[in-house]
């Protein structure tokens, strides 16, 4: 090999090593923040990506179209959330083996995860196309909104395989400590999505269908870029399609770690769909106001989400390396940081609610609904942050069953019971909003009990 060729090879290896962050050495805050900052930027871009459809439709079509696009987050997550949960479980398994430098099992876990993603994408497509029309009817979607909702979600779920595969790839890359490359690909796909949204909706006047097509194309591009990156790696973390197969023992470990999160995601989505059904009963303006709140919350809560997403990788890698005390200190740092940031964000959102919501909707009536919800829930963001971060810690410990039971009990069961009963006595929109801080508080109490009493050195074997 020539000298220049050797230098290029060394640069490629060096670049691959730099992309993977080993979180078992150095400053805890530094390790976590180096991993979390690209996650934050990536999630920010993901929100811009998701918001592009709503913003373009809200500004270039009408309120009914905006309501159709902005109120569908729980519906889409009902189906893809299950498979995303399995992906998270796969990431925990990979992180544990990566921290232990078990190269053979890292490779087996990566290929098992990716093959699962291919099959999951097929199931998600079929399930979405078959179930979504009936679910929209069950949700009491207003007749004025229903046609746009059907159009948007039929196109979205026809291409949902791109979303599922991207999340599988992203979970694998993050498990290896690489939060940079998913960020790069999101930058590209976000720009493409915005351009296509404007072209299809504002120029071609394709309405909500154009927004859905733009999303599928842009998401597909990011998925292809992730796969190309994974296939070009030179070490044992490389994806090789010739090695795709289910390793039964590995798939059982992935399912054991990820199934609780997948079930949690889907069932909580059912609970949120029940809440959304009650929101829909207040009309299209209530749907738009709450939808606008959801978009803003998706942005302002990102720093906390990024910390909660970094925690499973940090905890799992350090437990794999048998650095139990470092894992505990990292958990404390992550939880406290998340809570402090969340409360600062909540206070800012409380005072700036009207201005933030008007970015998405012009209707004064829609904004008024959004302000009611915002000022009811945002000062309790510290509770939401604690629950998310605590759940991340427990998943990193391999105890994903605990977050599943806790969140299903309170964020689904109690939330549904509360809304169903409370609205009979207090039939106003704010009654629905109180469901969120109430259930955040209850789940936080349970998580606190588990974290205080837990012995992390027990029950950690995969």
Q: Quick: pLDDT tens for 147-158.
A: 888 898 899 899
Residue 3 located in a structural domain: no
Higher pLDDT, 50 or 26: 26
Enter the pTM of the model. 0.68
Model pLDDT for residues 337-360, shown as the tens digit of each residue: 999 999 999 999 999 988 888 887
- Tens-digit pLDDT profile for residues 162-191: 988 988 888 888 888 787 888 788 888 888
In a domain, 414, yes or no: yes
Longest dimension (CA), the chain: 80
Residue 106 in domain = yes
Distances (CA, A) of 4 to 9, 11, 66, 456: 9, 10, 55, 49
Q: Is residue 6 part of a domain?
A: no
Q: What is the C-alpha separation between 81 and 67, in angstroms, rounded? A: 22
Q: Is residue 64 part of a domain?
A: yes
Segments forming the whole domain that contains residue 317: 24-453
Quick check: is 299 in a domain? Answer: yes
Range with lowest mean pLDDT among 213-222, 275-284, 405-414, 420-429:
275-284
**Domain contains 13:** no
Token duo for residue 393: 């810690």
CA-to-CA dists, residue 460 to 198, 387, 395, 397, 454, angstroms: 49, 21, 11, 6, 11
Domain total of the chain: 1
Residue recorded with tokens 């479980």: 89
Please check whether residue 393 lies inside any domain of the structure: yes
CA distance 380 to 400: 24
């Amino acid at each position: 090999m020539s000298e220049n060729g050797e230098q290029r090879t060394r640069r490629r290896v060096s670049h691959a090593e730099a992309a993977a962050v080993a979180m078992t050495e150095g400053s805890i805050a530094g390790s976590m923040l180096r991993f979390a900052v690209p996650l934050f930027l990536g999630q920010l871009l993901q929100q811009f990506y998701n918001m592009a459809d709503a913003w373009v439709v809200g500004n270039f079509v009408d309120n009914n179209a905006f309501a159709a696009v902005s109120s569908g987050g729980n519906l889409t997550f009902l189906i893809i959330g299950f498979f995303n949960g399995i992906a998270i479980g796969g990431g925990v398994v990979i992180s544990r083996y990566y921290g232990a430098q078990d190269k053979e099992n890292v490779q087996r876990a990566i290929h098992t995860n990716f093959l699962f993603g291919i099959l999951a994408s097929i199931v998600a497509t079929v399930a979405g196309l078959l179930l979504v029309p009936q679910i929209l009817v069950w949700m009491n979607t207003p007749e004025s909104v229903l046609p746009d909702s059907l159009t948007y979600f039929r196109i979205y779920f026809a291409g949902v395989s791109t979303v599922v595969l991207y999340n599988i790839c992203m979970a694998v890359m993050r498990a290896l400590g690489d939060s940079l490359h998913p960020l790069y690909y999101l930058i590209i796909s976000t720009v493409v999505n915005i351009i296509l949204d404007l072209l299809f909706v504002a120029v071609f006047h394709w309405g909500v269908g154009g927004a859905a097509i733009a999303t599928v194309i842009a998401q597909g591009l990011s998925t292809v870029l992730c796969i190309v990156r994974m296939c070009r790696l030179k070490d044992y973390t490389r994806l090789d399609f010739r090695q795709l197969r289910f390793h039964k023992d590995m798939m059982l470990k992935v399912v054991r770690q990820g199934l609780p999160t997948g079930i949690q995601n889907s069932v909580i989505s059912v609970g949120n769909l029940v809440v959304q059904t009650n929101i829909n009963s207040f009309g299209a303006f209530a749907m738009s106001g709450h939808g606008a709140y959801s978009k803003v919350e998706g942005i302002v809560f990102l720093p906390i989400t990024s910390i909660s997403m970094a925690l499973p990788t940090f905890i799992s890698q350090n437990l794999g390396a048998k650095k139990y005390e470092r894992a505990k200190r990292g958990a404390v740092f992550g939880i406290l940081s998340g809570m402090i940031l969340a409360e600062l964000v909540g206070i800012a959102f409380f005072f700036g609610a009207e201005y933030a919501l008007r970015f998405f909707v012009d209707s004064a009536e829609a904004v008024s609904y959004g302000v009611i919800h915002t000022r009811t829930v945002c000062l309790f963001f510290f509770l939401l942050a604690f629950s998310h971060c605590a759940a991340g810690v427990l998943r990193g410990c391999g105890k994903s069953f605990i977050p599943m039971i806790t969140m299903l009990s309170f964020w689904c069961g109690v939330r549904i019971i509360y809304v169903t009963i409370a609205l009979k006595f207090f039939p106003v929109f704010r009654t629905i909003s109180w469901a969120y801080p109430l259930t955040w508080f209850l789940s936080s109490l349970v998580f606190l009990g588990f974290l205080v009493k837990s012995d992390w050195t027990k029950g950690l074997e995969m």
